[in-house]
Structure 1
């Protein structure tokens, strides 16, 4: 039996997620699409696909008879809105998958730490840049200590909607924190670039790690295996070129990046591209595709774990 889900937010991310649930998931079933704009394309598309909708936000969702059958709620609104939505939904015992930078629940990057949070009730999907780059930082840190990690996420300006633009500060803060908490870096930094180039470019990500003692070949192999793992749920995720690893020169100034000893041994540079699956948005919107793909994978695993727990209780 499939798990019923609701999606809050009928914009680009919510609508792409709607399509993914319907087309790709063997275990999730669309229950309700929630918005606040009755004329939004997301709500209209959901209705055409036979999905129940409300344009009265979370209050409307709570008043619908379909809400009783919903077990998982995706929030694809904004950081501020999620704080309110979470408070309204918490008494109802639903699993929340947060696609905003609100970070009320633990950070989850499926290829890195989903197993550690299978019993969480409100998980945060970090940011698009975090989903693309934190797996690489984690891959390096599992074979060599990462003293400093810096990521630059470049996305097409056309793929950044009002929600993304309103949450730029939260994006950098949340991603930097998750680089440390999930990626394992001693210190993290995140930068986002909205590229206005025409035609629009697909998402590009650069990861720089200053790593301690470790075998360069083991580092390279770990990164390549992690990229392969992420591409299992984000098919358009790939390395743009071979992982670059160079020694850190003894006289290279690092005082602004690293406060104390030990001094790193290696500079690891990884260049990534993320092409979207174009389920709803153009292929250049890989930044949205990686968020919705990661959220879908997370919800499927959380729902499966909740179902197993119910069986164990019943038996």
Structure 2
């Protein structure tokens, strides 16, 4: 039986992201999934039901009708539907954690501003590329404010589902806005590559920051410390390259998926789902200050 310290959560969407999220919720000692909601019966809902979870094809309407006992809702659907989901959930008091790139809610990166998450009501996790790159960009910005930042995300086509492909424009726009917000850089550029290569490449983000007179001896420990904080909840996260040449700082990060549900190359799903769980557990900790996460 769940501990009295757990909080109830629900998942909107039962695609690959939603199913991996359910596995992570099941492993968390602080979260209990009380509903999985979709708009139609699909393989994901069927698999969720087979594990004993309560499921519904009634979407957001059915979720709101069952909101008692649910403190956190994860939106793992698509950016186009998110505004409607927030419209229905705003009066309920539940925290809505957005895994879509809708650019709604408070942009949140757990290791940067995650301390504010427990008191929030509507959180945006930006994008997988944003979760991978912004911790490092923010660390660099603590040394010098960049006047330009660039993120190039490369992922396996196999790990990008239909919703991801339909939301690529939103992905780029939302990630650019977040990169600007967290670094202060006046200009931010985001590029995305979906590779059809076989074997599938790992999820990789290369980031570039143009700064005045960067000091490698200062930047290295800042980046290393930022990466270590991410690895605390996403162990497949690794900085594979870091270089400072003149006014250009370049870093590459790779994320390897470590769960049972998704293949190792699907680090894009790993990083955003790990961030979502971290935010929810911070919420649980805030509700039980005497040691829910101790």
After TM superposition, give the deviation of residue 49 of structure 1 in Å. Answer: 1.6
Whole-angstrom distance in 2 between the partners of 1:50 and 1:56? 18
After TM superposition, give the deviation of residue 300 of structure 1 in Å. Answer: 1.0
Deviations 1:190-227 (A, max 9, x none): 11110100111110110101112442211111111111
SS at match of 1:207: strand
Whole-angstrom distance in 2 between the partners of 1:183 and 1:164? 25
Q: What pairs with 1:92-171 in structure 2 (closer than 5 Å)? A: 92-171=92-171
2:15 equivalent to 1:8? no
After TM superposition, give the deviation of residue 118 of structure 1 in Å. Answer: 3.4
2:21 equivalent to 1:17? yes
After TM superposition, give the deviation of residue 306 of structure 1 in Å. Answer: 4.1
Task: Give ranges in structure 2 of 5+ residues lacking alignment.
Answer: none
2:251 equivalent to 1:283? no
After TM superposition, give the deviation of residue 116 of structure 1 in Å. Answer: 3.5
2:244 equivalent to 1:245? yes
- Among residues 42, 51, 60, which one is paired with 2:44 in the alignment? 42
After TM superposition, give the deviation of residue 144 of structure 1 in Å. Answer: 1.5
- The higher radius of gyration belongs to 1
2:54 equivalent to 1:52? yes
Whole-angstrom distance in 2 between the partners of 1:275 and 1:234? 9
SS at match of 1:68: coil
Note if contact 2:127-2:272 (Cα within 8 Å) is conserved in structure 1: yes
- Over 3 Å counting, the alpha-carbon distance change for 1:117 and 1:187 in structure 2 is farther
After TM superposition, give the deviation of residue 63 of structure 1 in Å. Answer: 2.9
Alignment-derived partner of residue 76 in structure 1: 76
Whole-angstrom distance in 2 between the partners of 1:62 and 1:106? 22
- Over 3 Å counting, the alpha-carbon distance change for 1:124 and 1:140 in structure 2 is same
Note if contact 2:20-2:273 (Cα within 8 Å) is conserved in structure 1: yes
Note if contact 1:208-1:270 (Cα within 8 Å) is conserved in structure 2: yes
After TM superposition, give the deviation of residue 307 of structure 1 in Å. Answer: 4.5
- Normalising by structure 2, report the TM-score: 0.94
Task: Give ranges in structure 1 of 5+ residues lacking alignment.
Answer: 248-265, 310-315
RMSD: 1.5
Whole-angstrom distance in 2 between the partners of 1:274 and 1:96? 25
Alignment-derived partner of residue 294 in structure 1: 275
Note if contact 2:208-2:251 (Cα within 8 Å) is conserved in structure 1: yes
Note if contact 1:137-1:185 (Cα within 8 Å) is conserved in structure 2: no
Deviations 1:124-182 (A, max 9, x none): 00000000011111010011121111000000001000110000100100000000112
Deviations 1:219-259 (A, max 9, x none): 11111111111111111110113x10011xxxxxxxxxxxx
